[in-house]
Amino acid sequence: MTPLWTARAIAAATGGSASADFTVQGVAFDSREVTKGDLFVAMRGEATDGHKFIDNAIAAGAAGIVCETAIDHPHILVTDSVAALNALGAASRARSHGRIIGVTGSAGKTGTKEALFAALDRFRPGKAHRSVKSYNNHVGVPLSLARMPSTADYGVFEMGMNHAGELAELTRMVCPHVAIVTTIAPAHMEYFGSEEAIADAKGEIFEGLEPGGTAILPFDSPHYAQLRAKAEQHAAHIVSFGLGEGADVRAVDWLSDGQGGSLVTAQVQEALLCFTISQTGAHWVSNALAVLAAVKAVGGDLPAAGLAFAEMGGLAGRGARHRITIPGGDLLLIDESYNANPASMAVTIEQLGRESAGRRVAILGAMKELGPDGNAYHAALAAPLVAAEVQFALLVGEEMAPLAKALEGRIDFAHVADHPAAKARLGDLIRAGDAVLIKGSNSVGLSHLVTALTNGEY
């Protein structure tokens, strides 16, 4: 097996000195994620110091360590481990012959990234690489780059931000051949103040495009013209995707497949493609169109992408569907517990309204970082809940108080302070035949409810 990195290559990339010859097959900065043969990068952070966990990493099978102090294990000695990880990521990008795709957006980043990886991996098995989890920040992006094999034909990287300028830095590290903006929505409004400012910040992804690069934009977005103007400064090619007439890649027709997914007919520039998406909702149709645009831009295979959409499993915290057995029968659990903003909340509540169920139950956690209009954004969720004919809503977090007030006299609901209080209500709340949506910002902790249900605690 070709090693991911040799000690000599790591030292050359980071400017460090190697204590011994060794090779590694992976890279990690969290000792709990180290597996046999990995390189462990011991970094000093605000909360903790990775150097304290070097022994744990060695015990887990680390083959080498990047560290700032000499140790009695194979290591690369550097002056700054964070800078070393950045340098290793940059070296990985520099040595790559593959086509690189960057993905950003207010919602749908991870799902689009995973679907794009699945499409390219089906076309070239074992030759596609992507960032895992939501490793999309100033530490996760260089880590994901450093993990990319030199033999990869494709690399797909998710990039996120919550302040202006952050995405510009990340995209110049990734240097994508193709850059995708999935959507613009009021996320991180606390730091931006307007959707227009968010669109400006998301448009930074185009600044890192390689010469001759392609920008892929959401045609249906009210900020399309703004994004296009930004893309025209950096991209040689601009491709739009969307559900509306006029998009370069658009859904000619789509309908439910009766099993939680969608049957789609898409026009991909001059090609017509019919395929099934295993995931639920119009937002997944939109994600799929962005993926098809990117697959075409990097010379991938559209039919293979269509097959990959049908085979994709649900993503934990981002739409995974579970059949849960409880006394009296079973229920459908829709796990959207990882993240939430006003747009994604409205879309998933609307989709809940399409589920055939004895009752529709929404367990909704607070949306974070919405700024001074946070109360209005929360209260506005009342309309989609009523339209979806949700029979009961369990609201979690103090920010949900405006929604509780807006729902008075309209649907049954309860408002609790936190996820332990919500978990305590589950046993009395759920019934056989229910369709239960769990969605909220990750920090609210609603994933604990998902774990409890999927572990059969009820």
DSSP string, 400-446: GHHHHHHHTTTSEEEEESSHHHHHHHHHHH--TTEEEEEE--GGG-T
**Pair (117, 250) in one structural domain:** yes
Q: Does some domain include residue 87? A: no
For residues 148 and 297, membership in a common domain is answered with yes
CATH code for the domain of 419: 3.90.190.20
Examine the fold and report which residue of 35, 50, 78 is the final residue of a domain before the chain moves on.
78
pLDDT at residue 189, as a whole number: 65
303 occurs within a structural domain: yes
Q: Which of 430, 219, 446 is nearest to 318 (CA)?
A: 446
Q: Which two tokens stand for residue 183?
A: 């959507």
- Residues 108, 164 share a domain: yes
Question: How far are the Cα atoms of 185, 246, 375 from residue 107, in angstroms, in the given order?
Answer: 7, 23, 20
**Based on the domain organization, do 274 and 135 belong to the same domain?**
yes
User: Are 131 and 153 contained in the same domain?
Assistant: yes
Containing domain of residue 235, as a range? Answer: 96-311
**Whether residue 187 is found in the same domain as residue 155:** yes
Same domain, 155 and 247: yes
Q: Is residue 114 part of a domain?
A: yes
User: How many helices (H) and strands (E) in the chain?
Assistant: 17, 22
13 & 161 share domain: no
Residues 166, 111 share a domain:
yes
Is residue 158 domain-shared with residue 248, that is, in the same domain?
yes
Query: How high is the pLDDT of residue 262?
Result: 86
pLDDT in 10s for each residue of the chain, 458 residues: 799 999 999 999 999 999 999 999 999 999 999 999 999 999 998 888 999 999 999 999 999 999 999 999 999 999 999 999 999 999 999 999 999 999 999 888 999 999 999 999 999 999 999 998 778 899 999 999 999 999 999 999 999 987 889 999 999 999 999 999 999 987 766 777 788 999 999 999 999 999 999 999 999 999 999 999 999 999 999 999 999 889 999 999 988 877 778 899 999 988 999 999 988 788 889 999 999 999 999 999 999 999 999 998 777 777 888 999 999 999 999 999 988 889 889 989 998 998 889 999 999 999 998 888 899 999 999 999 999 999 999 999 999 999 999 999 999 999 999 999 999 999 999 999 999 999 999 999 999 999 999 998 87
* Domain edge (last residue) among 78, 107, 136: 78
Is 307 in the same domain as 340? no
Q: Does the residue 86 lie in any domain? A: no
What tens digit of pLDDT does each residue of 258-275 get? 777 889 999 998 899 999
DSSP 8-state symbol, 277:
E
The CATH number of the domain holding residue 9 is: 3.40.1390.10
In a domain, 342, yes or no: yes
How far are the Cα atoms of 13, 40, 181 from residue 89, in angstroms, in the given order? 9, 14, 23
Q: What is the dihedral of CA 172, 176, 177, 180, to 10 degrees?
A: -120
Instruction: Examine residue 179 and state whether it is found in any structural domain, yes or no.
Output: yes
CATH number where 188 lies: 3.40.1190.10
Question: Residue 157, SS3?
Answer: strand
**pLDDT tens for each residue of 81-126:** 999 999 999 999 999 999 999 999 988 899 999 999 999 999 999 9
Dist CA 432 CA 358 (whole Å):
8
Confirm whether 90 is domain-assigned.
Answer: no
Q: Is there a domain that residue 305 lies in?
A: yes
| CA–CA dist 359, 348 (Å, integer) | 16
Number of separate domains in the chain: 3
Q: Answer yes or no: do 254 and 119 share one domain.
A: yes
Q: What is the pTM of this model?
A: 0.83
